[in-house]
Structure 1
Amino acid sequence: MTVLLNHTIVHATDRAATAEHLTGVLGLPAAAEYGPFLVVELGNEVSLDVLEVDRVHAQHYAFLVGDEEFDAIHGRIVERGLDFWADPFEQRPGETNTNDGGRGLYWNAPDGHKLEILTVPYGGWPAG
């Protein structure tokens, strides 16, 4: 069997707010409760399992999306008045990037998690 990522845990001081942010901005179905988690299902059978904790160490989560999804997510970010940047260091506010021939942007989720959408993976698409 090939090794595949199945899920990862996203720590949050308010799991409902974080799950709503993820599903709302990314345009995903509402999170389902599973034990102590709110489970955000992604399109590739990977889930982000949001767990409420007292203290969070911010992480980076990148989402590969198509052009239509990029436009829709970008639109929701703008509609919500969220700050976004073309770079993870927040040096190019209100811009998108064209890294590797695609488009990308970064924004912050609750608790400081750095989220990214990109239309082409780092390094570009494999040849062939």
Structure 2
Amino acid sequence: MPVTFNHTIIAAKDSDESARFFRDIFEAAEAPSWGVFTNVQLDEGVLLQFAVPPVDEIQMQHYAFLVDDELFDRAYARIRDRGIEHAADPFWKRPGEINNEHGGRGVYFMDPAGHALEMITRPYL
């Protein structure tokens, strides 16, 4: 069997709030949840599991999502409509913008737990 990405645990301040945020922005499916995990299902069987860690401070992580142009348009409209701060670059030197790099479009924004999210329409490679 080839190696494929299956799931990851994402630290959250409130696992339900973070899962709702991801489902809303990315139009992701709700998945059965168990134990301390609130789960979100992405395409290709990838499971995002949100959980509140047993520490006071959450270390910021970066998660990038490849989406098609139509979902980008809808998700970016939701980002703007909700007043979510965003930028065209990871260093926030172009706030309130998107980029047109790598033959597609991209945008950076934060989730409720403070993780850096990136949404792109074309892979880098």
TM-score class, shorter-chain normalisation, is over 0.9
Consecutive aligned runs of 4 or more in structure 1 exceeding 4 Å deviation? none
Q: Which amino acid aligns with 1:77?
A: I
Would you say 1:99 and 2:115 are equivalent positions?
no
Task: Give the aligned CA root-mean-square deviation in angstroms.
Answer: 1.1
- 2:49 equivalent to 1:49: yes
SS for the counterpart of 2:79 is helix
Question: Equivalent pairs: percent with the same residue?
Answer: 43
How do 1:1-128 residues align onto structure 2 when only pairs under 5 Å count? 1-53=1-53, 54=55, 55-123=57-125
| SS of structure 1 residue aligned to 2:30 | coil
- 8 A contact 1:23–1:31 mirrored in 2: no
How many residues are aligned here? 123
Decide whether the 8 Å contact of 1:70 with 1:119 is kept in 2: yes
> In 2 relative to 1, CA 121–64 (structure 1 residues): closer, same or farther, beyond 3 Å?
same
The alignment partner of 2:24 has SS state of helix
Give the structure 2 partner of residue 126 of structure 1.
none
Q: Report the secondary structure of 1:78's partner residue.
A: helix
TM-score, normalised by the number of residues in structure 2 = 0.93
Cα drift, residue 29 of structure 1: 2.5
- TM-score of the aligned structures, taking structure 1 as reference length: 0.91
Unaligned runs of 5+ in 1: 124-128
Q: Which runs of 5+ in 2 are unaligned?
A: none
Query: Does the CA-based 8 Å contact 1:20-1:31 persist in structure 2?
Result: no
The separation in 2 between residues aligned to 1:13 and 1:74, in whole angstroms, is 24
